[in-house]
Amino acid sequence: MFEFKMPSLGASMEWGVLAEWNVREGDTVERGQVICEVETEKGNIDVEIWQDGVVQKLVAEPGTKVPVGETLALVATEAEAEGEPEPVAEPEPVEEPKPVAEPKPVAEPEPVAEPEPVTEPEPVADMEEERQRLRVSPAARKRAAELGVPLEQVEPTGADGAITLVDVEAAAKKAPEAPEHHVRVSPVAKRLAAELGVDLSAVDGTGEHGAIVRADVERTARERRREEAVEKPTVDEADSQRQAMRHAIAAAMERSKREIPHYYLEHTVDVTDTLQWLADRNAEVPPTERVLPVVLFMRAVALAAREVPEMNGHFVDGEFRPSEAVHLGNIVSMRGGGVVAPAVHDVDKKSSGEVMAALRDVVKRARRAKLRASEMTDPTLTLTNLGDQGVEKVWGVIYPPQVAIVGVGKITERPWAKDGMLAARQTATLTLAADHRVSDGIVGAKFLSLIEAFLHQPEEL
């Protein structure tokens, strides 16, 4: 048995709000599976579990503010889950007192209990099993829930006896009044629905036999609030979100400046031939497969980090822990204000085309608040690129527990001596902020020189 705890999703994060569970008690979970959503000051994050097992208990309720490190759920390993019934079976030999149970014949009022027909709940269970075996399209299941149409009462017309959307609509027309009588609602859920103004016909029940319970009403209310927020974000809400993000960023940067002894280096590199190679490459492929200049910088930084491990890893509990993988954090500006720095994983092992696809995906999800916890906690080194904003140099602040951040400035044409000749060349200024507890200027200089060397071999990127 192990505890699934609230993770730290940022340098300044002290707590998170459990927004939603994606699993139920008894569900089997696999390593890397997203099992819940957590709301932080920087937005909502999908949180994965990193061990296989079976959910034994959901400790935290959705909507609960949970400190970092506190237990969210209890999860048993599959071996533990399978082994639990065995001890329960052991008491069977102790059933020697069965002869004592002989007075049962005295309790012959059992025949009086002829209301055995009352044990008709058994067929209800059978109906439930049949209902679970039904073939139902996702659209049909959703529409049936909206209309309150019991799926076991729908006549299927689809392939292999599948229930389609048309079947559900037809069943709803035949028995328009049935829905209300077939919806089971707990008293608490009914009262809460009235308080929150939730239409019970739009709620999917997750309780026993599909009954609507409190958690279902709360989930529906949250989903409705999110939809309304997307459709009509109020000035106050938007301002509150911006303030929360600014607070989180400020807290992380304050911690960085307080704890990390920064040192800074800069190096201007000639990227004329690199950009020409990229232009030729992009001209030969469809628009969807073209690569931006920043991807070449990402690849060069990742390959250099592999050779200078002092730049790639985390400083935790008073010691540096280098990382074998290079998960490069990228600063993404949010449309509502603020920034996040999610990771693109294994940049040193991917091709430039794969890095471009991964970067496009993570930026899109970051702006839709659909990042995963691993993307927020895995970065081993960060790249910040403000060159496209016209900034010639950018001096970054290290994001704890990382130990370095690389900045890329605007690509600028300037006089440059090459092979004894002076000419106008395309150049970019690279900057490095690194942690003096782990490295010094000589190591930092080597790192920047390697980045330049890799940029001059674009065919290797």
Q: Residues 90-144: pLDDT tens digits? A: 445 545 445 544 444 444 445 444 444 444 444 434 444 444 456 676 667 767 7
pLDDT at residue 384 tops 70: yes
pLDDT at residue 173 tops 50: yes
Choose the CATH number for 2-76 among 3.90.1170.50, 2.60.40.10, 2.40.50.100, 3.30.70.20.
2.40.50.100
Contact by Cβ (8 Å): 404, 432:
yes
CA pair distance 13, 132, nearest whole angstrom = 42
Tokens of 57: 């208990």
Q: What is the mean pLDDT of residues 177-193?
A: 68
CA pair distance 234, 261, nearest whole angstrom = 41
Angle at 19 between CA 340 and CA 376, to 5 degrees: 25
pLDDT at residue 256 tops 50: yes
pLDDT at 66: 92
Q: How confident is the model at residue 75 (pLDDT cuts 50, 70, 90)?
A: very high
| Assigned architecture for domain 187-229 | Irregular (4.10)
The DSSP 8-state label assigned to residue 287 in this structure reads G
CATH number of the 262-460 domain: 3.30.559.10
Contact by Cβ (8 Å): 195, 218:
no
Q: How confident is the model at residue 300 (pLDDT cuts 50, 70, 90)?
A: very high
Contact by Cβ (8 Å): 262, 435:
yes
Task: Please state the pTM of the whole predicted model.
Answer: 0.60
Give all strands (DSSP E) within 41-197, no chain letters: 43-48, 53-58, 65-67, 71-76
Tokens of 318: 């008073």
Q: How confident is the model at residue 241 (pLDDT cuts 50, 70, 90)?
A: low
Peptide linkage before 400 cis (omega within 30 of 0):
no
Where in the chain is CATH 3.30.559.10?
262-460
Where in the chain is CATH 2.40.50.100?
2-76
pLDDT at 168: 77
pLDDT at 158: 66
- In angstroms, what CA-CA distances link 292 with 335, 340, 345, 394, 411? 21, 20, 18, 19, 13
pLDDT at residue 86 tops 50: no
CA pair distance 158, 376, nearest whole angstrom = 44
Dihedral sign for Cα 30, 379, 383, 40, please: positive
pLDDT at 118: 42
pLDDT at residue 186 tops 50: yes
Contacts 24+ apart (CB under 8 A), 187-194: 188/213, 188/214, 189/213, 189/214, 189/216, 189/217, 192/217, 192/218, 193/217
CA pair distance 58, 21, nearest whole angstrom = 9
pLDDT at 279: 95
Rounded to a whole number of angstroms, the CA Rg of the chain reads 30
pLDDT at 221: 85
CA pair distance 292, 352, nearest whole angstrom = 9
CA pair distance 13, 6, nearest whole angstrom = 11
Per-residue buried b or exposed e for 73-102, using 16+ beta carbons within 10 Å of the residue's own CB: bbbbeeeebeeeeeeeeeeeeeeeeeeeee
344, β-bridge pairs: 328
CA 137: distance to chain centroid?
27
The DSSP 8-state label assigned to residue 58 in this structure reads E
214 CB-side CA count, 13 A? 8
CA pair distance 20, 37, nearest whole angstrom = 5
24 CB-side CA count, 13 A? 7
